[in-house]
Structure 1
Amino acid sequence: MVSFALALAVFGSASAVFSASTPTDPVRLRDLVKRGGTVTGPVLPLNFPDPALILPNGQAPWYVYSTSSSHGKVPYATSHDFKTWTGVKGDALPNPGSWVSPLNPAVWAPDVRQITSTGYVMYYTAFSAANGNHCIGAATSSTPAGPFKPQADPIVCDASGGGIIDASGFEAPGGALYLLWKVDGNSKGKSTPIFIQPLGANGYTLQGKATQLITNDPVDGGIVEAQSLVYWDGFYYLFFSSNHYNTLKYDISYAISKSVTGPYTKVQAHTRHCSFQANAGPRDRKGPPSSTCWVDKYVNAVFHNDINGKNVSAGRSMWQITGLTLSNGIASVNC
């Protein structure tokens, strides 16, 4: 399960037109480094998969969080200028909770959201001790560094669909809070829909009903996952990864809507825009996994690439994008 940390310190938003046909070779994010673009990396040259980004109170330092590794359950690093990053500074979730299976206590694809000036919620995926399926948990802290304290039970599960993964939070205009997730249907040969559901003011109590936003189409290579929702200037941008994460086809696409609950239209942007809807790595590198965002006028984003340029076996290092532009439904990397 990968995570393109579209830790979009999103300072922007976009829209587009979906094409059911396979696109021509896109401009690949890492290739933009050679063209003088705004993609740089690796900025964390260590195993730091599925990075999630947050800018607490809108002021530096930035924080990034990763999937479990030898560095901890949820390792985190910081940066004061979004150029130079510290090494791993600590473990933000040393205890993922009693509901997590002791046979496999790893945590995947964390996402951290600031709910109040001193209140933070972390969403994360782990195996449930009760049924062995992936579920989503929530943990809270008064600081972005944690340690986050987990809730006693997972906040959402779906055993019939294959479990659920890749939780991400979203705050809509006006302050309404939402949780998004992917049904891990590909684990059972099923579809992989992405859902959204309202949250209470505490940032982790589900309310109302879940709404499906998108699901996988043939052009997606059988999978959509690792979603990150961003709002800017009238458009909701749903970034997501498609194709299998352990292949060089793994990429990042997006869909747009004028309503938080859809309907969403998948976007086929043109390469002349140096489109963000492109394979996130060159041919000799795997693209990124999931994503998170932080918004203003432009978007800052983080993602990961395979360290060995072939697959995830050697780990995944963090890269970043500065100045991702969202305009009239089109997301583009400045180049």
Structure 2
Amino acid sequence: MDIHYTNPVWQGDMPDPFVLKWEGQYYAFGTGGQKREANGNIFPVLRSNDLVHWQACGGALIPPPAELGDDFWAPEVAYDGGKFYLYYSIGKGLRHQLRVATSESPVGPYQDTGMPLVDPRIQPFCIDAHPFRDDDGQWYLFYARDFLDTEHGYHQGTALVMDRLATMTRLAGEETTVLRARHDWTLFEAQRSMPHYGITADWHTLEGPCVRKHAGRYYCFYSGSSFMTENYGVDYAISSSVRGPYTGEGSEARVLRSVPGKVRGPGHHSIVLGPDGRTEYIVYHAWDAQMQVRQMCIDRLLWAYEGPRCAGPSVDLQRIVL
């Protein structure tokens, strides 16, 4: 038996969707911005049996102290040792810090642990934390931060780094650069004013890392460009080691890209196994026609000879294999 669907699978606002599969259920977490859900918590949570039919479950995160900021972005959840860990960023404007919160339940409530993962005095803008567990059980955290140098032909902008998690709530302090922007398609904004750095620059953005190990190699998927534009999309780089170096990124978004007149700004995705336990799906957001909300969409992840691709972004009838 299969289930048929058309995108989006959630009509409401669900930016940066991360989906956790836990005990046969799917839990989707989305960027909350400044919005609190009906239970007073941050980050909308949805639950599903099949990736198609979703039910709202309130908000995941108990609001942390107001002095940390009021803008909440890109939650992702990991399970380890009997606890669920929600990684997210909080801040305001061009300053964001990475935090982690814990819960006994996948839907929460999650309580912040009280400390940033990266010192905001050293890195004032860190976003999009992605926990990844390697085959040996070691956890790593991939995330995005700002780079101001242009050495080796790299662009100034937001790019990807990673660090080992010494514990689920503390980084080891072994940050490694994963990928820097060097292609024109990743331009976020030309001559962007960055007053806290004292510069105006053509600013490029790599964000939303998502790591998948396939056939012995590590694929770091990421979203590039500005989420407001049709240039926004998903690409990847490859490594033989989780620590890198990662190479082979594209001069265009090869996994997901806009379809003029039909789909705008698909990206910031997660990857999850379908109900059959074999088929992989990319869960991503894309703008509605009025560009009022970013809606949650799903399509199959395909491992082609030339590299990973998505069977989308689709607008016609699709199916989920049960």
The two structures have a TM-score, normalised by structure 2, of 0.78
Q: 1:285 aligns with which of 263, 269, 275?
A: 263
1:242 is displaced (CA, Å) by: 0.7
**1:177/1:205 Cα in 2 relative to 1: closer, same or farther (>3 Å)?**
same
* In structure 1, C-alpha distance between the alignment counterparts of 2:6 and 2:221, rounded to whole Å: 20
1:300 is displaced (CA, Å) by: 1.6
1:332 is displaced (CA, Å) by: 2.2
| 1:316 aligned onto 2:316 | no
Q: 1:332 aligns with which of 309, 314, 320?
A: 309
| 1:109 aligned onto 2:89 | no
Q: 1:169 aligns with which of 119, 125, 131?
A: 131
Higher mean C-alpha deviation, range 247-256 or range 284-293: 284-293
| Structure 2 counterpart of 1:300 | 281
- Give runs of ≥4 in structure 1 deviating > 6 Å: none
Say whether the 8 Å CA contact 2:256–2:309 is kept in structure 1.
no
For residues 62-96 of structure 1, what are the alpha-carbon distances to aligned partners after superposition, in whole Å with 9 as ceiling and x for unaligned? Answer: 0000111545211100110122112x21111032x
> In angstroms, what is the RMSD of aligned CA positions?
2.8
**1:60/1:297 Cα in 2 relative to 1: closer, same or farther (>3 Å)?**
closer
* In structure 1, C-alpha distance between the alignment counterparts of 2:229 and 2:251, rounded to whole Å: 22
| Structure 2 counterpart of 1:89 | 57
Q: 1:60 aligns with which of 24, 30, 42?
A: 24
| Structure 1 counterpart of 2:242 | 260
* In structure 2, C-alpha distance between the alignment counterparts of 1:43 and 1:138, rounded to whole Å: 28
Q: 1:231 aligns with which of 193, 213, 217?
A: 213
| Structure 2 counterpart of 1:31 | none
1:236 is displaced (CA, Å) by: 0.6
| 1:124 aligned onto 2:88 | yes
Higher mean C-alpha deviation, range 229-238 or range 152-161: 152-161
| Structure 2 counterpart of 1:51 | 17
* In structure 1, C-alpha distance between the alignment counterparts of 2:180 and 2:5, rounded to whole Å: 29
The residue type paired with residue 286 of structure 2 is N
1:208 is displaced (CA, Å) by: 4.2
**1:146/1:184 Cα in 2 relative to 1: closer, same or farther (>3 Å)?**
same
- 1:128-139 matched pairs, under 5 angstroms: 133-139=95-101
Report the secondary structure of 1:107's partner residue. Answer: strand
**1:53/1:280 Cα in 2 relative to 1: closer, same or farther (>3 Å)?**
farther
1:234 is displaced (CA, Å) by: 0.4
**1:282/1:64 Cα in 2 relative to 1: closer, same or farther (>3 Å)?**
farther
Say whether the 8 Å CA contact 1:125–1:165 is kept in structure 2.
yes
**1:55/1:214 Cα in 2 relative to 1: closer, same or farther (>3 Å)?**
same
Say whether the 8 Å CA contact 1:191–1:223 is kept in structure 2.
yes
Report the secondary structure of 1:43's partner residue. Answer: coil
* In structure 2, C-alpha distance between the alignment counterparts of 1:119 and 1:185, rounded to whole Å: 34
Q: 2:108 aligns with which of 142, 146, 160?
A: 146
Say whether the 8 Å CA contact 2:183–2:251 is kept in structure 1.
no
Q: 1:75 aligns with which of 44, 64, 69?
A: 44
Say whether the 8 Å CA contact 1:248–1:283 is kept in structure 2.
no
The two structures have a TM-score, normalised by structure 1, of 0.75
- 1:198-217 matched pairs, under 5 angstroms: 198-201=164-167, 203-217=168-182
The residue type paired with residue 261 of structure 1 is R
The residue type paired with residue 111 of structure 2 is K
For residues 307-333 of structure 1, what are the alpha-carbon distances to aligned partners after superposition, in whole Å with 9 as ceiling and x for unaligned? Answer: 235x4xx121111113x1235671123
* In structure 2, C-alpha distance between the alignment counterparts of 1:39 and 1:283, rounded to whole Å: 20
1:293 is displaced (CA, Å) by: 2.6
User: If each structure's strand is expressed as a fraction of its own residues, which one has the higher value?
Assistant: 2
1:260 is displaced (CA, Å) by: 0.5
| Structure 1 counterpart of 2:320 | none
**1:107/1:303 Cα in 2 relative to 1: closer, same or farther (>3 Å)?**
same
* In structure 2, C-alpha distance between the alignment counterparts of 1:206 and 1:278, rounded to whole Å: 31
* In structure 2, C-alpha distance between the alignment counterparts of 1:147 and 1:285, rounded to whole Å: 34
Q: 1:244 aligns with which of 205, 226, 241?
A: 226
Which of structures 1 and 2 has the larger relative contact order (alpha carbons within 8 angstroms, sep 6+)? Answer: 1
> Gapped runs of 5+ residues in structure 2?
149-154, 188-203, 313-322
For residues 133-168 of structure 1, what are the alpha-carbon distances to aligned partners after superposition, in whole Å with 9 as ceiling and x for unaligned? Answer: 210000011110110111112111445555111111
Identity between Structure 1 and Structure 2 (%): 25
Say whether the 8 Å CA contact 2:97–2:124 is kept in structure 1.
no
